[in-house]
Amino acid sequence: MCNGAGELTNAIIDAFDAHSTMSRQALDSERVRSGLKHLLLGPAGLYEALRRRGSGQDMRPAP
């Protein structure tokens, strides 16, 4: 009986490998780090959301 455990394990390993590759690319590239920083602090609104969260305000991005 196949319960998919092997497939799930393989999917987890593949996801880990992909994440590791992306992390290595970010660590090795100033351009990638700069782009991520721009997205997270700009359009994604991460900084503002974290500020609101820290002050107990709503987590929704400002309009």
Residue 52, pLDDT > 50, answer yes
- Helices (DSSP H) in 5-45: which residue ranges? 5-28, 30-41
* Residue 2: per-residue pLDDT: 55
Three-point CA angle 9, 17, 36, nearest 5°: 130
* Residue 1: per-residue pLDDT: 46
pLDDT tens track for 2-42: 567 899 999 999 999 999 999 999 999 999 999 988 988 89
